[in-house]
Amino acid sequence: MKLNLFALPLLATLASSLRLDPVWTQYNVQTGAQTWNTPEGLIRKNADITTIYTFDFGYSNVGKTCTFGFDRPYESTGTKQADLFSVIGNPTSSTTGFPRQAPRNQYIARLQVGNDLFGATTWISPSQAPSFPCPSGKVSWELVPAGDNVVIKHKYAYIPRGRVPSGLFVEAN
């Protein structure tokens, strides 16, 4: 196999970073119901639905820098904005009502998603994707609609070699 010299920097970048994709939990703010490990992420203002993202960092990412990102919504309307919050604990199952398994904690950032699968996400406040020291174990964050009539939907796209992630992700470098 021949290796193109121009491909070496790309291969080095891919080897040094790892993209972590979460388990999604939809949360109904009005009823307290949680749908754990759902196939679709949904952030919707007029129905008061948020999505909690639980990442398993393991132990190999300790000492690295993690950065948030958001990819490929298949539907986005209204302001297309969402606020990112930390969450206390991690959802572990579906529930039908209160009390909430993993309550919202501290505000982290606001983002605006693109129009479709190829639209870019813009970080509004702060103006760049937030970074943090990579933790170990499982950690959750929540995206909450910001503004009126917000709808942001995303789900995994399946291809012959696996799935293409979408929604909130964390990249460890």
pLDDT in tens, the chain (173 residues): 444 444 434 333 334 567 777 888 999 998 999 999 988 888 898 878 999 999 999 888 899 999 998 887 777 888 899 999 999 988 888 999 887 778 889 999 999 987 665 667 889 988 889 999 999 999 999 999 998 889 888 876 666 666 566 788 888 88
Kindly report the number of other CB atoms within 10 A of residue 145's CB atom: 25
| CATH code at 18-172 | 2.60.120
124 within 8 A of 30, measured Cβ to Cβ? no
How many whole angstroms separate alpha carbon 93 and alpha carbon 33?
11
Both structure tokens of 137: 């174990």
> 4-36, pLDDT tens digit by residue?
444 434 333 334 567 777 888 999 998 999 999
| Omega before 126 within 30 of 0, i.e. cis | yes
Domain coordinates in residue numbering, the chain: 18-172
Output the DSSP codes for 28-83.
Answer: ETTT--EEET-SEEEEETTTTEEEEEEEE-TTTTTTSEEEEEEE--SEEETT-EEE
Instruction: State the DSSP code for 95.
Output: B
pTM of the predicted structure, to 2 decimals:
0.83
Strand partners, 172: 18, 66
